[in-house]
Structure 1
Amino acid sequence: MSISILPKEIRLEIWALAYLNEPPRLVALETKSHDEDHDEQHFCPRYSPSPRPTVVNICHEARAEARYQAIRAKHVVQLPASLTGTNCDEFYFRVDTDMLLLQLEGPRVRHYDDSPNAGLLAHFSAATGCDFQALENVALTKVVSRGFRDDSLFNVLRAFPRISRIIMLLPDDVWNNDRQKELFVREAASKYTQVRG
């Protein structure tokens, strides 16, 4: 039996349920290649390379209903204009279930991705189309020592009062030293408590 023979009302309900019940996704936020001759006061052009929710790729009707449900639930994120004055690409993100992946290490990382003023997390805190303060899950591919030690990372996290899970991948020099790893984890827990306290 094909879904197309069902009445439209039932098909729309199926697409809505498929969107609203999709498992949590890992959604990356990255910086596009651009002229990097600018200061830390301007946002870089950003986008999400992560695939859209599965139901969006089924057919036109499913895509339209999923988008309707996403807009209604404030799951379509639009970051404000970048230094070029153009809006960044919008992307699907459920702030209460999806995990925001901030890649701060690797070949696609740009010059201000870790900036407390104009970096990936700071840019996300200016997003429209969602309640950015409801963000609950963040993963960082690298803990930037400067941002960790001078509290700038934790000062940015204050803008997200509902974060309940932060996954941080430790730098190799810390990971390979048990004593350093223990100190790092204790300090991270202490600072996280200060942010939430």
Structure 2
Amino acid sequence: MPSTASARPPTDDAGARGKGGSSPAARLLETARRLFFKEGIRAVGVERIIAEANVARASLYQTFGSKDGLVVACLDDQDAADCAAWQAAAKDAPGPRERILALFDLAIAAAPGRDYRGCVYLNAVTEFPDPTHPVAKAVARHRAWLRRMLLTQLREAGSPDPEGDADVLQVLYDGALAGSKFSRSDAPIKVARRQAELLLAGH
């Protein structure tokens, strides 16, 4: 649960390491990701983050430069985790169709643990719609990876129109995550997975 403590953060990070000796930067990332995803980016201030992470204010600015820099780092960190999770799932998949469906399976598995709050990247770009903003660019990097992955797998599966099929799969995936947030259920993701399976069955 988020803390409501208003104690002044330490002025020095010496001796302020958390469990397992986590660094101030790691604690800032973990705390910011949790708060941003649960409450929204603009709703959470710097003072709240440094207080709950139990670090000096200087640590945030020295490591990330600004709150926006911290948001970008959180999104890039999430992107790395999501890519790694898909790669681990894809490694055991028998073929490209199953590797694509693994994307939906991961979303189904993750939705309850995320309390059905939807897509991290969609939530972020909703708050930062300007495509030139660093936060929107971080979201675009994740979207570019997703697109490349879909195209690679569709071409390997023998799709006659990989670009068009990738468009459909992206709409299914985006809509599934949004629907999950609205309904607070994994049912929309399961429906999207079935539709994706039908599309892929034709290749």
TM-score range relative to shorter protein: 0.3 to 0.5
Q: TM-score w.r.t. structure 2 length? A: 0.32
The structure with more helix, counted as a fraction of residues: 2
The structure with more strand, counted as a fraction of residues: 1
Q: TM-score w.r.t. structure 1 length? A: 0.33
